[in-house]
Chains A and B, each alone.
Chain A
Amino acid sequence: MSALAVEDLHVWFDLPGGRELHAVQGIDLALEPGERLGLVGESGCGKTTAILAMMGLLPPSASVAGRVLLAGGDILAGGDRTMRPHRWTDIAMVFQGAMNAFDPVRTVGDQIAEPLERAGLAAGRAARTRTAELLELVGISGERQDRYPHEFSGGMRQRAAIAMALACEPKVLLADEPTTALDVMVQAQILELLVRLTDELGLAMVLVTHDLPLVSQACTHAAVMYAGRIAETGTTRELHHAPLHPYTRMLFEATPDLRGTDAVRSIPGAPPRLDEPTVGCPFQPRCDRAFGPCATTRPPRRTTEPGHLTHCHLEGGA
């Protein structure tokens, strides 16, 4: 059974004037324990909104539909009532910029212990012991729990933020741009840590990023999002070697490779507005393989190998 399965997830935001923005337009994802899925796409494609919906943390102006299944049980169905018992204990999140979100006047250990105490898992001395264990788990000496955030480097604060998300031993970790704003060497340390944690703890992880090479390096699977939908999902190898959606291929072509010799090409145009209904394929105006039906008909779901899916009219790959 999947550790996390998302089925036909939609998110709408109410806009002034009675209009709506359809930020997430029916996405499906499934992760086995220990699996690492990169959720990639440009700014505004809905990737962060999607994982906030999985945590039940969207603002009241958002409406959510679909199913979020943890070990088979739908936690979205009953709203906050069904979400709350699972949030942090079964599904946890490292927020974008979490390393800069520590309260500067409280010790790091205090802040890691807070979810433990709230969930009734540990208090007092037991919470201190558990906090030290959590810090050691992410490669920080447990003795440093009495330090303040400013005494930690950026990389250490990010580790501490990961420790905090893991406090209640979740089975699913959602990490939103966990290495953005970190130097390349610190980024490598954090990725190594996330890979080790998913392997050792059997955690299923969704890594949200705009950086495709990061996903190729750290993840087993990837889902490419465009305009609120999944353009393509499969293993990172399938997406790189045999993309089914032109957007996936064009994203790779837009990414310089350290040792590559191919021309790097930008993708012309910009993503569509999501406060107006899209006719046909949302990527059609920017696509270099668009043809007849793309402008008028929503692309069908297409599969070649089990688990390798796309929404594209093209048959036989991109």
Chain B
Amino acid sequence: MSEPLLEIEDLVVGYRQGRKGVVQAVDGVSLAVAAGAMVALVGESGCGKTTTAQAAMRMAPIASGRIRYRGADITALGSRALRPIRRELQLIFQDPYESLDPRFRVRDTVLEPLQIHGIADDREGRMRRALERAGLTPPELYLDRYPHELSGGQRQRVSIAAALALEPTMLLADEPVSMLDVSVRAGILGLLDDLRRDGLGVLMITHDLSTAARYADRICVMYLGRIVEEGPTAEVIGDPRHPYTQALLSVVPRPDPDDAGEPRILRGETPNPADVPTGCRFHPRCPVAQDRCRTDDPVLAPAGAAGHRAACPYA
């Protein structure tokens, strides 16, 4: 594997919430994404996956930890110094119905980031190449269309083209297909996969384990602000070690009605980051919790094959 493009090290992100103090949305997350790799960050709502990506873009308040881009520390860079880095790290949003300006033609949507970043040379060529790369070919067919004249899949391709216009090295995709119809999802995910094969690094945030299993080469499972398990996709899916990952995988609906195993449905609610349990933060819902889990806070430790880690003493 090549040198990491993006490294997140022991990241802590806290938000002040009323008089209750600080809510730690992300509490000690480390991960790295190399060129040509796709890393999936999976977990339930409120687990901190989106906040992690936002902090990597320096769009969330970092309490502690380090963000490195190509080895350089960008944790404390001012907005002027961040500009060239933001050009290389592009964000793709969940909802192409909301992220595109309805008054902008496709041409203007893809040109806008070039204008913002003051790129003057060959704007037209960059714009066309980005559209082609995003699978909108020939570009002439799309240039003068408005978002309402496009399908959901085409809109998401336009927002990807806008990101690609800046020729980034890394994409952060936050639930890039969850608003799209099933019939077009594979096309968008295939496009991200192609870009990754072209050498881009991709950090994909998703709640859908089937998508992560199919497209990512590494999976990080988050629970209440922490990564509780991570490893190569085949390991995490085929040999999950953390009881939370095991439960999550057991409830993923399978297309073949005969494939349904015994779901291990966790009781209770999606946990609340404002109320983190003591010890292992998963222990109140854990089917195998022991006494020590109430007090000992486990850290990620090797489990199973090389590169596979889980934060559970029984993993």
Contact = CB atoms under 8 A, between A and B. Distances in A.
Contacts of A62: none
Nearest to A235: B257
B292 interface: no
Task: State the 10 A-B residue pairs at the shortest beta-carbon distance, nearest first.
Answer: A213-B253, A266-B187, A188-B251, A266-B186, A267-B183, A256-B214, A183-B44, A217-B253, A216-B257, A256-B210
Contacts of B254: 213, 216-217, 257-259
Interface in A37-82: 42-43
Interface string A218-253: 100000000000000000110011000000001110
Contacts of A211: 182, 253
Contacts of A14: none
Among A187, A216, A237, chain B packs the most CB atoms within 10 A around the CB of A216
A183 B252 CA distance: 11
Nearest to B285: A185
A100 B213 CA distance: 31
Interface residues of A, number: 41
A214 B252 CA distance: 9
Interface in B234-282: 237-238, 247-249, 251-260, 263, 265-267, 269-270
A214 B253 contact: yes
A237 B210 contact: no
A70 B277 CA distance: 50
A256 to B, nearest CB: 4
A189 interface: yes
B213 A256 contact: yes
Contacts of B263: 188, 192
Nearest to A222: B257
A256 B270 CA distance: 25
Contact of A184 (B44, B185, B187, B269): B44
Nearest to B186: A266
A270 interface: yes
B147 to A, nearest CB: 15
Among A240, A251, A256, A265, chain B packs the most CB atoms within 10 A around the CB of A256
**Interface of A, helix, strand, loop or mixed by DSSP:** helix
B237 A259 contact: yes
A42 B183 contact: yes
Contacts of A187: 251
Given A184-B209, A217-B257, A258-B213, A155 B182 contact: no
Interface in B145-204: 151-153, 181-187, 189-190
Contact of A216 (B189, B247, B255): B255
A201 interface: no
Contact of A255 (B182, B248, B249): B182
Nearest to B191: A266
A264 B269 contact: no
B94 interface: no
B214 A260 contact: yes
Contacts of A258: 209-210, 213, 237, 249, 252, 254
A264 B44 contact: no
A132 to B, nearest CB: 21
A178 to B, nearest CB: 13
A250 B182 CA distance: 10
Contacts of A252: 255
Interface residues of B, number: 42
A220 to B, nearest CB: 9
A217 B253 CA distance: 6
A209 to B, nearest CB: 10
A188 B265 contact: yes
Among B189, B252, B256, chain A packs the most CB atoms within 10 A around the CB of B256
17 contacts: A42-B181, A42-B182, A42-B183, A153-B270, A156-B269, A188-B251, A188-B265, A192-B265, A217-B260, A218-B253, A255-B210, A256-B189, A256-B211, A256-B213, A256-B215, A257-B210, A258-B252
Contacts of B265: 185, 188-189, 192
Contacts of B190: 264, 266
A258 to B, nearest CB: 5
Among A186, A210, A217, A266, chain B packs the most CB atoms within 10 A around the CB of A266
Given A184-B248, A256-B211, A258-B209, A210 B181 contact: yes
A185 B270 contact: yes
B181 A240 contact: no
Contacts of B260: 216-217
A236 B209 CA distance: 22
Contacts of A266: 153, 183-187, 190
Contact of A264 (B152, B189, B209, B238): B189
B98 to A, nearest CB: 15
B45 interface: yes
Contact of A240 (B207, B252, B256, B267): B256
